[in-house]
Structure 1
Amino acid sequence: MVKEFSKRLKYLREKKKDKEPKWTQGYVADLIGVARPTYTAYENENNPKQPPLETVDKLADLFDVSADWLMGRTNDPSPKKSEKEMSLFFYDGLEGYDDLSPEEKEAFREHMYDEARQAIELVKKLKKQGKRGGMYER
């Protein structure tokens, strides 16, 4: 996923740069609040580290694409603002969530995203097998 992220990020920036030369790596780094070498590493396909989720969200907003597309999780680049709003709504009022640090909240959201994807795959598998999915059944 990191290589796909790097390719897509570089593609988006260079596409902007074709129209406006100011879209350098340094310019984007300033816009999202990271050091230029940090941003340069994001575009480097050999960089094994994934950026923090908060940074991915900033980049997705900046380039008007979905974070999932930017990370290579989908081929649909359209931003899905309603999903972000829904996820914020889901966690609002969840006991203990507000007590977490920003880093802990990010880790929690990533874990819940993975759990939700696994649940979706399970439901699809059960449906494909023709088995009743209990509470997943409609």
Structure 2
Amino acid sequence: MYSQRLRQLRKAHKLTMEQLGEKIGIAKSSYGGYEAESKKPPLDKLIILAKLYDVSVDYILGLTDDPDPKVERKNLNRKTLYPWDGYKLTPEMLDPIRKILKLVTANNN
């Protein structure tokens, strides 16, 4: 999935593989490997690409279809469900867990 997104983003920004490689500090052939999915981009390069294109890393990886990186930050302020071991936890459900963690960490200092 990431190969299609990277190709789409590169073309939308009218960049060649060589130009993009120069922008992120890798060889054209290395970047070509990302688009061919014969190489996986390391996290530091994914972050650079996300910033360059003003999208989230999740969008590049195909974890979301919304390219706006700011949407994810906004959603953190809502009643987001946090998955844990198959359960969906609301912020209210996490409050007691946070209190326990504060007690545990306070006792270890």
TM-score (norm 2): 0.67
Note the aligned Cα RMSD (angstroms).
Answer: 3.0
Equivalent residue in structure 1 for 2:9, among 9, 12, 30:
12
List gaps (5 residues or longer) in structure 2: 74-80, 98-109
Please name the residue that 2:48 is paired with. Answer: 58
For 1:126 and 1:61, the matched residues in 2 are separated by 30
Task: Give the 3 Å change call, closer, same or farther, for CA 121–78 of structure 1 in structure 2.
Answer: same
| CA-CA distance at 1:82 after TM superposition | 8.6
Q: Secondary structure at the match of 1:121?
A: strand
Deviations 1:51-76 (A, max 9, x none): 11000000011111111110111111
Q: For the pair shown, which has the larger CA radius of gyration, 1 or 2? A: 2
Cα 1:40–1:126 change in 2 (3 A) is closer
Distance 1:122 1:81 in 2: 22
1:120 aligns with 2:82: yes
1:135 positional shift: 2.4
Equivalent pairs, count: 88
Map 1:41-80 onto structure 2 (within 5 A).
41-45=33-37, 47=38, 49-80=39-70
Q: Percent identity?
A: 36
User: Residue by residue, what CA displacement relative to the aligned partner does 1:86-127 show, whole Å, maximum 9, x if unpaired?
Assistant: xxxxxxxxxxxxxxxxxxxxxxxxxxxxxxxxx921287256
Residues 58 and 133 of structure 1, relative CA distance in 2, 3 Å threshold:
closer
Question: 1:89 aligns to what?
Answer: none
Decide which structure has greater strand share.
Answer: 2
The structure that is helix-richer by fraction is 1
- Indicate yes or no: 2:17 matched with 1:25: yes
- Structure 1 residues 133, 16: CA separation in 2 closer, same or farther (over 3 Å shift)? closer
The Cα of 1:80 is off from its aligned counterpart by 3.4
Cα drift, residue 133 of structure 1? 6.9
